[in-house]
Every structure is written in C-alpha cells, then in structure tokens.
Structure 1
Amino acid sequence: MAVIRDSKGQALLLIAIVFVVFMDGLDASIVNIALPYITSSFAIDAGTAVWITMVYFMMMASLLLIFGKLADRGIIKKILVAGLIIFSLFSLSCGLSNSFETLLISRIFQGIGAAIMGACSPLLCVRFLPENRLGIGLGVIAAGASIGYASGPALGGILTEFLSWHWIFLINVPIGVAGIAFLLRALPQDEGYVRSYFDVPGSILLVTATITGIFALERSTHLGLENIQIISAVTICIVSVILFIIWEGRCEAPLLNLSIFRSSKFSPVFIAYFLINLVGTGKWYLIPFYLALIMGFDSATSGMYMFIQAAITVIISVPIGRWSDHVGRRWFSVVSCLAMAISCAILIFIDPSMGLLPLITVAILSGILWGFSGPAAGRIVEHVQEGEEGTGAALIAVSGYFGAAVGAALFAALFSFISDSGNVPFTDLDPGTFMLGFHGVMLVGLVMAIVAVVLSAAVKDKCPPESSMVPAQ
C-alpha cells in the first residue's frame, strides 16, 4: 500500500477518517438517552434494556483486532466499505425493529460493522500517511471521536423527543449511503492482496475471551460474584485466554504476534495508552451521575458541561499531533497521563460546596487528556517491532475501544464494591453512599494514572528517520 504524498489525497483521507470515527463515536453514545423510551416501547425492564448497548460494545471490543489484521492484508478499502454497508443496513434494521429480539440481533450486526470501521481508522493513518504526518492523523481521530461522542446524547434526545427512538438508528442510513460513496472516491485502491492462512482458531478464542470477560465484569455488580453465570463466564474467559496464548505461541501465522510484548519499549507505551482509555472513559462514565445526583444538574446542563471536554479536544488535538510529528511524542504522552492523574486527584476530594471551579478544571483537564492522546497512540506504532506496524495500528483501536468498554464496566463494579451498594441503581443511592463510592473509585483511577505517567516517561522517543524530516509534498 503506497503512502499518499499529494496534499489533496491526504486531505480526502483525513476527511474519510473523521467521518468514520465520528460515526463510531456518535453511535456509541446516542443510544443511551433513548433507552427509557425503548424500554417502554417493548415493555422490558432496565436490566434487559442494557443488552442493547452491551452487545454492541461486545462485538466492537472482540472483533477490532481481527478486522484490523484482515484489512492489513491489502484490502483495507474493501473491508472498510463493507463495514459501513453492514453498519448502515443494520441501522435500518434497528430502526424498523418491531420486537426487542429483532432490535438486539440488529445491534449485534451493527456492532460488527462498527468494529470494522473502528479497526480501519488508525490503519488508514499508518498505511497511507507519511510518517511525519502520523500525529496529525491520530489527532484527527481524537477530534472526530470526541465530536461524535459528545454530539450523541444531544442529537439522540432531540430525535427521540420530536420524532421517535427509531430515528436514532434511521439517521445513520442516509449518512451511511453518502459515506459509502465518499469512501469509494477518497480511499486509494487496494493493492498487494495475497490469499494466505488466517488464524481462525485464535480469532475464535479471542472473541470468546473478550465477550465472556466483558459480560462478567459488567454483570457482576447486578448478579453478584457468586452467581453461576458470572462464575461460568469468568471460567470460560480464563480458559480461553490460556488457550489463546498457547495457540498463538505455536501458530506459524498468529492473529497476534505475542513476541512484540517482550519489548521493554513497546509494552510500557501500549499499557500506558490502554490505561489512558480505561481511566479516561471510566472517570467520564461516573461524572454525569455526580452532576445529576449531587449537583442537581438537568440533562441539558450536564450535556453542556460534558461538551467542554470535547471542544478542547477538537481545538488542540490536530495541532498537538502536528507538533509531536516534529519534536517527538514522549512528553505529549506524559502530559496526557498527567492531566488524567490531576483530574482524578481533584475528583477524590471534590464536594458540591466547592462550586463549579473544580468541575470546570476537570473538564479542561479531560480535554487535554484526549487532545494529547494522539501522540500516546502513535508511540504504539513507533515502538512496535519492524514489520508489525499493521498489528500496532490494530492495537491502537483495541486499546481505545476495549479500554473504554473495560473502563466503564470496571469503574461501575469498583463503585458498587467500595460503596457496598450492591446492585442498587446509582440514582437510588443517598448522597453519602454515592460520594463514598465516587471518591474511592477516583483514588483507584489516580493510582492507574500515575502508573501511566511513569510508563510513558520511561520510554524515550525513537530518533526520527531521515525521511520524516522531509515535509510531504
């Protein structure tokens, strides 16, 4: 796959990347606001309705690496267009669903399409942008995802209020059709594909481990650790992980070359970026409950507050990415982790009597966290062993989406454990119990953030290759 050198081609590629990650981010957040309406429409309880979001994220987290590796076999354009077609078709199916079962099955396939889109985005940067433009590309991903994720609740609320919940899915169809036409025009033609062995057994084991692991983590707070479903899921997950490691070590063409994690430079930067996504998302998952239950914000005010972070990310992510291309990515990654650590520290001690200043500071720091995260992602590709750049790109997607899924589930589980609230919904807790759990979880987040700071600072930048010092034509 040839690197795009002309500015027009690079611009079209970056627009395509923004579109793809915006759609992914939008659909990841647009559904939650409509869950009460869907619950009422199908006469189901809240515990059942959560599967609408859970199956979507299960598909994304479990399939990202698989589709990333498939796309990197010289067919990224075909794979990405196919993913958007699947996403659009099953968005239509979701919107036309007349039963909960039909909606759930449609969400599974919509999640598959979203996984393809998420896996291809960083790969487009790695394979088609010059090395001295990689930071810009990854900054564009951060900006597009932030805009999409921040826009989801507001757009979902408007569509649900003035039309119906069906339109949070149907709106994807015309956008998807336009996007397919644009991708066919903007992306370079596929080349270099050679039919060869693909690690199907490893893929099955990975999907099994991921789905059962997320299920156990997400549902443990509702069902209890002693529940047979949780015990079975944990057992299957552990066995699948062990078998995956054994198989990948013996397979001649593994899905994931585990030897890359033996590097004393690659593993720290990978873990640091994974923690950025885990803690950053987990923290942001709990903040809306604090705003509603403790500060008394309505949904509109909370939405405006949450948008501060997205706005800052959009403003700074591309300039920071461009800057990191020239001076190195190490200290930008450290700043991202420091912003995460400081925001967690503030949230450990935050109290409604402190007013809005701590909250605004946390929102600004969160914007810096994500705005500086592009260079942290770039370090994964920078330090992966030669010939595994495609794997590095796939692991950026895995770290982002899987880290986010684990972060939300883990912080919710830790909250229930620390506050000893069991499966009582957050909205039914008294303020004292909520604050106990909230402060305790943020302390755990601070520890993880400090680990990320140390790991990011410990690995020096590679000396930029001579070619990267020459501006792209």
Structure 2
Amino acid sequence: MLESLKGNQKLTLLIISLASFMAFLDISIVNVSLPTMAKYFGVTTNTVLWTILIYIIVFSSFLIVFGKLAQQKGFKKVFLAGFLIFITGSALCTISTQFHELIIFRLVQAVGATMFSGITSAMVLQYLPKNQRGRNLGIVTTIGSMGLALGPLLGGYITEYINFHWIFFINVPIGIIGIILGHAVLHETDKHPGSLDLPGVVMIFIAQSTLIFALNKGLDYGWTSTIIIGSIICSVIFWALFVFRESRADEPLIDLNFLKMKDIALANAANIFSNMPFAGAVVLLPFYFEVVKGMSTSQSGLILTLMPVAIIIIGPIAGSISDKIASNRVTLIGAMIGVIGCLVLSTLNPSSSLLYVAMGLLILGASVATFNPPITKFILSKSPSKYRGIASGLVNTSNMIGNGFGTGILGTVAAMVVYTSVGPSTSDKLTPALVSQGLDNAFLVGTVAMGIALVLIALTLYKKPVN
C-alpha cells in the first residue's frame, strides 16, 4: 500500500515542510521554559542558556557538512537518518534527570535536526516540479516560520500545564510519522561518490562555533572580555585554516570555485545582512513592550507573532511570484520593504501607538517573506546540481550567521545607549526614554544592513538560472 505513495508530490512537500517546522520549532520552544529548567536542575540562568546555545552551535556548524554528505550518500538516506537521530535525542531529553545529560542529548537532537533541515531547500529542487520551485520554497519557509512562532506558545503551555520534559517528547510521534512517510514517498537521489574532508569538518566546526558563541554571548560577557576576544580570534584563525585546507584538499568540503561564482557569493552575503534586522527585532522589541509600554511577557510575545503572521501570509505568495519573474527581482523588492520596515521601527518612542508598532512589525515580516524564499531559489537555481546539497547548507548557514550578527551588533548598539548614560549592570535603571533611544539606534543600523543587502542583490545578474 505504501508503495503507491512513491513520488506523491503533495506528500513530498508535506515531509519537507514537516522537517523545516520541527527544526525551527526546537530552536524557540525551549526559550520560555528556561526559568523552570534552571530551577529543576539547580543551575544558574547563564548555565541554563546552554540548552539553546548548544543547539544553535551544532545547527549552524554542520549545515554545510551534511549538505556535502547528502550529495555523496543520497538525500533520502541522510534525511531519514537525521529524523531517526533527532527523535532519539528528543526521547533522551525527555527522560534526562541531570543538566549535563540534557545538554548531551540536546546535542544529539541538534545533529539530527541539522541533517534533515540543512537539505530541505535542495530537496525542493530535487523532488518537486521545476516550474513551482518558488511557490514550494515559499511554503517550506513559511512552515519553518510557523515553527519559530508557535514554539514559545507551545512551550509555555506545555511547561505550565504538563511538564517541561514534554516539550521534547512531542517530536517523537511526529518524527516517526516523518520517517514512515519519507521511506514510502521519497526515492533516492543520484550520488556523487567521494570522501568527507574530516580535517575540514573539524576546522569549520571550530571556526563557526566560536563565532556563534561570541555573537550570542558578547553582551553577557562583554565584547572586550578575554573569552569573547579569544573566541573571535580563534574563529578568524580557523576560518583562514579552513580556506587554506579547502584550496589544497583532494576532496574539499566546499569547492572554492563554487564560492567564487559571483552571483552565489553576492546572494549569500545579502542573505547575511538581510537577516540581521529580524533577529535584532526578536531580541530588542520585548524590552520596548515591557519597559516602555508596561506589557506582560505574554502580551509582548503575542504582539511579536505579527512578524511570523506576515511571513505565513506573504511567503507562499512571494515564492509563487518568483516562479513567474526573476527571483532576484522579487528579493530586491523584499530588501526595499525591509529598509522601510527598519526606518519605521527606528522612529519608535514612548508615545508611539501600538498600531504604528504593529505596522512596523508587519512590514519587517513582509520583508523576510519577500526576501528569503526567492533568494533561496535564486542561489539553488544558480548552483550546478552537484553542489545543491552544499548550496542548501550554505543558505541556512548564512541565515544563522545573519541572526548571530543581528543579535550581537544590534543588541550592542542598543545597550551602548544605556551604558553611556547610566553605566554597566543597570537593568534595574532602564527607562522608557533610554530603551526607545537604544531601539532607534539599533534599527538605524538595521536599516544600513538591509540597504547593504539591497545593493548586493542588485549587483546580481538577471539571467536564466543553471539547472
């Protein structure tokens, strides 16, 4: 009976979207449960943050690695193995009784998520019709955004009314369904035999993990602290070693000739800059809502869902439009919308109406929806088929780097307003005026970042993609 499902396009899209949903759900579902976890395991607030950080580090460090592995071993094999590892890690997180156990099992979970989510974009091109790539990428991106949006809501409900362990268990039955359907529906893709450059894997892991650590913890430890400066120096050294290694390896993890393709390089750079304002908004706007507007945490979270709502509505539409006109033209429109959204958010003050704030959030969300699916289609379509696994991982890696830069840079810009006015360690002295000024400065930087993304994508060529 299951054999009759082989190649079913609707089920294929469902499976790929499910993978995107689960990976991003588990980035955000843990956040609201952190205080409960800290109390349960008897650890400090800074320590419990490793529950999130370990997932992000692994997720961002191995995307390219598993993209390469999928090209060598076949997309179906890596995709289904990722699901199996993910639900195994999730089940182990559910029964963890010590904090170190949770971190180890969370790492296992992240490895599985990286295996299947890192190749979702490439799978759209491999398994689904060419003339619907933009639409389908828009749907996959939208479902991933739903995971990010629903994570805090589901996590809060489960933690309050059941037990925080169950935020991990919900992955298990969904993952089992994904494995069964994936085995029945997907066919194996062409393989490109070769060896995995293990020294390159180690180098990119150290380079990427130290960079992500510095970007995520710079505000906590201080940008001039030994650990942050050391992490940045370490990242630079290992990125240099990685490039040196890849230029000489017989079987490089990334063929540097691929990265030398002008449009690929420009589009991925634009992707980094375009993700910065969105990440900054998620981190900074709760301070505006709670300190300036006097809202509760739940009210703040509810308003922030306006950005994912805009993505959910507009993402598939933008993707479909990119099937009819050049996808980088659609992306250019997304960057223009992003500039407008950042400018609106850079003018917030204590007297700004909630309607005005909501307008800024919806515009910024519309920018993400109009930028991300078409830029993903553009990069993958420009990539020769033998590089599509790597290209998919590269797109997701640039997303994660952009999120890291957005959190680190925009957060620091906002914090500097407080620091220069009342000094360090003054969270209890935050005033509506200081928070508003910090937010405005941060989104002016976000405007510049989105403007750079606009220029970079404008430099790409409007010509028929390589298929």
TM-score, length basis structure 1: 0.91
Cα separation, partners in 2 of 1:148 and 1:16, compared to 1, 3 Å:
same
Cα separation, partners in 2 of 1:426 and 1:368, compared to 1, 3 Å:
farther
Cα separation, partners in 2 of 1:399 and 1:16, compared to 1, 3 Å:
same
Number of aligned residue pairs: give it. Answer: 460
Task: Report the counterpart of residue 183 of structure 1 in structure 2.
Answer: 182
Deviation at 1:348, TM superposition (A): 1.3
Deviations 1:258-314 (A, max 9, x none): 223333322222211222223322223222222222122223322332222222222
For 1:74 and 1:133, how far apart are their aligned partners in 2? 26
What is the 5 A alignment of 1:173-212?
A: 173-188=172-187, 190-193=188-191, 195-212=193-210
Cα separation, partners in 2 of 1:368 and 1:290, compared to 1, 3 Å:
same
For 2:282 and 2:217, how far apart are their aligned partners in 1? 20
What is the 5 A alignment of 1:391-410?
A: 391-410=390-409
Task: Report the counterpart of residue 148 of structure 2 in structure 1.
Answer: 149
What is the 5 A alignment of 1:163-242?
A: 163-188=162-187, 190-193=188-191, 195-242=193-240
The answer for unaligned runs of 5 or more in structure 1 is 1-5, 469-473
Task: Report the counterpart of residue 116 of structure 1 in structure 2.
Answer: 115
For 2:237 and 2:258, how far apart are their aligned partners in 1? 22
For 1:115 and 1:409, how far apart are their aligned partners in 2? 23
Cα separation, partners in 2 of 1:464 and 1:50, compared to 1, 3 Å:
closer
Task: Report the counterpart of residue 270 of structure 2 in structure 1.
Answer: 272
Deviations 1:399-451 (A, max 9, x none): 22333244323333333345327764857633333223222211111101011
Q: Check if 1:58 corresponds to 2:60.
A: no
For 2:378 and 2:168, how far apart are their aligned partners in 1? 35
Letter in 2 for 1:76: F
Task: Report the counterpart of residue 452 of structure 2 in structure 1.
Answer: 451
For 1:206 and 1:108, how far apart are their aligned partners in 2? 17
* Aligned mate of 1:263, from 240, 261, 264: 261
In 2, are the aligned partners of 1:275 and 1:403 still within 8 Å (CA)?
A: yes
For 2:178 and 2:386, how far apart are their aligned partners in 1? 31
For 2:28 and 2:177, how far apart are their aligned partners in 1? 21
Deviation at 1:93, TM superposition (A): 1.4
For 2:404 and 2:144, how far apart are their aligned partners in 1? 15
For 2:138 and 2:424, how far apart are their aligned partners in 1? 39
In 2, are the aligned partners of 1:57 and 1:405 still within 8 Å (CA)?
A: no
What is the 5 A alignment of 1:243-254?
A: 243-254=241-252
What is the 5 A alignment of 1:13-24?
A: 13-24=12-23
For 1:118 and 1:401, how far apart are their aligned partners in 2? 13
Deviations 1:162-182 (A, max 9, x none): 011111112212222222212
Sequence identity, in percent? 29
The answer for unaligned runs of 5 or more in structure 2 is none
Deviation at 1:195, TM superposition (A): 4.3
Deviation at 1:206, TM superposition (A): 0.3
Q: Check if 1:439 corresponds to 2:434.
A: no
For 1:450 and 1:388, how far apart are their aligned partners in 2? 29
Deviation at 1:7, TM superposition (A): 11
Task: Give me the CA root mean square deviation.
Answer: 2.3
Cα separation, partners in 2 of 1:274 and 1:67, compared to 1, 3 Å:
same
Task: Report the counterpart of residue 68 of structure 1 in structure 2.
Answer: 67
Cα separation, partners in 2 of 1:38 and 1:386, compared to 1, 3 Å:
closer
In 2, are the aligned partners of 1:37 and 1:165 still within 8 Å (CA)?
A: yes
For 2:224 and 2:283, how far apart are their aligned partners in 1? 26
Q: Check if 1:312 corresponds to 2:313.
A: no
Secondary structure, in 3 states, of the residue corresponding to 1:164?
coil
Letter in 1 for 2:278: G
Deviations 1:6-35 (A, max 9, x none): 997221111011101111121111100000
Task: Report the counterpart of residue 29 of structure 2 in structure 1.
Answer: 30
Cα separation, partners in 2 of 1:175 and 1:382, compared to 1, 3 Å:
closer
Secondary structure, in 3 states, of the residue corresponding to 1:253?
coil
Cα separation, partners in 2 of 1:339 and 1:424, compared to 1, 3 Å:
farther
For 1:305 and 1:225, how far apart are their aligned partners in 2? 31
Q: Check if 1:98 corresponds to 2:90.
A: no
Letter in 2 for 1:175: I
Secondary structure, in 3 states, of the residue corresponding to 2:62?
helix
Task: Report the counterpart of residue 471 of structure 1 in structure 2.
Answer: none
Letter in 2 for 1:401: M
Deviation at 1:161, TM superposition (A): 0.7
Secondary structure, in 3 states, of the residue corresponding to 1:353?
coil
For 1:118 and 1:407, how far apart are their aligned partners in 2? 22
Deviations 1:360-409 (A, max 9, x none): 11122123122212112211123346743333222122122333244323
Task: Report the counterpart of residue 347 of structure 2 in structure 1.
Answer: 349
Deviations 1:122-177 (A, max 9, x none): 12112222332221221012111111111111111110110111111122122222
Deviation at 1:210, TM superposition (A): 0.7
For 1:425 and 1:173, how far apart are their aligned partners in 2? 43
Cα separation, partners in 2 of 1:425 and 1:460, compared to 1, 3 Å:
farther
Letter in 1 for 2:233: T
